[in-house]
Amino acid sequence: MMPPQKGTFLKQLPSFLQPGDTVGVLAPASRLDYEEVLPGLRVLREQWQLQVQEGTTLRLAHHQFAGTDEERFQDLQAMLDDPSIKAILAARGGYGCSRLLDRLDFTEFRKNPKWVVGFSDLTALMAHLHGMGFASLHASMVKLFTKAGGELALESLRKMLFGEQVAYEVSTHPFNRLGSAEAELVGGNLCLLAHLVGSASDLDTAGKVLFLEDVGEYYYNLDRMLIQLQRAGKLRYLAGLVVGQFTEMRDNRDPTFGQDAYEIIQQHVSAYSYPVCYNFPVGHVADNRALGVGMPVQLKVGESNVTLSFPLPQST
């Protein structure tokens, strides 16, 4: 069986930010305490010299959500439509983005593409954008901007948004598989990627470097989600794999599942030959480095270190 044709790099990106630009901050999924986002808003305004338009959802609550589906939809749709907003940053994730996807109208967004920034539940929105040909940034959310240990993550996001060169070097891991790849980068939260399989937001991984992360899952469920990706052909034709942080994992008491997160992943990709990097700083951790979903990336998994770099592209 021949592999699908490799995906091509996105030809255009949203414009990089400049001091004085306007960005929107909203909560498209779970609710939050408005006070929690204030330090991050100060970073945007005082350190990055950006104008900030605060979404109504930063102060709304409906059960576990940051407002009703209608309120969250209206907040996000208004920011997608507004040509003066150059980037949309999520204040937090949680759960709720996938409830909005099929209602969103991207007509105005296509005319004036902008960066969408977030991770975790935002994976659903970013995968949807990728399917339409738009890049986004998997990166720290505003609520987490000043979290201890997140200084490098925050700086990496600033560099990506303002169009500066970004390259990462990480230590080796015993499970790494050596090799190199130059391809488009895709990925995000494993739970969300499995959830999107078969939907209009399903992520095309063929010929691409895939990155994965997750939090709070049972090991057996992690195995089940990887089987879902495996059976859907999402792991077979990769150019490379970057395995991020799998934090707060849980196990059955008796009997246990018998494998930890990295052992489970290693088993599911053991039949392939593409390079694999483990323990990359991305996920539900303070040091959550910014990654450009849909952007070309160079991955080199060597014996002494691993490098992941983004050649500086030209934005629109």
161-195: b (≥16 Cβ within 10 Å) or e: bebeebebebebeebbbebebebbbbbbbbbbbbb
What type of residue sits at position 138? H
User: Side chain identity at 78, as an amino acid letter?
Assistant: A
Residue of 92, 83, 90, 117 whose CA lies nearest to 25: 90
Between vectors from CA 241 to CA 239 and to CA 244, what angle results, nearest 5°? Answer: 160
CA neighbours closer than 13 Å in the CB half-sphere of residue 28 = 31
Nearest C-alpha neighbor of 125 from the set 85, 183, 76: 76
Cβ 298 vs Cβ 277: under 8 Å: no
* Residue 98 is among the residues annotated as catalytic for this protein: no
35 catalytically annotated = no
- Catalytic residue selected from 130, 138, 195, 284: 284
Is the distance from CB of 9 to CB of 296 less than 8 angstroms?
Answer: yes
Q: Residue 154 is which amino acid?
A: L
Identify the CA nearest to 288 among candidates 177, 208, 184, 188: 188
Among the options 130, 195, 213, 217, which is catalytic? 213
In the annotation, is 128 catalytic?
A: no
Q: Name the 3-class secondary structure at 36.
A: helix
Q: Which of 120, 136, 140, 201 is catalytic?
A: 120
In sequence order, what E strands does 57-178 have?
A: 85-90, 115-118, 136-138, 166-170
- Give the active site residues: 120, 213, 284
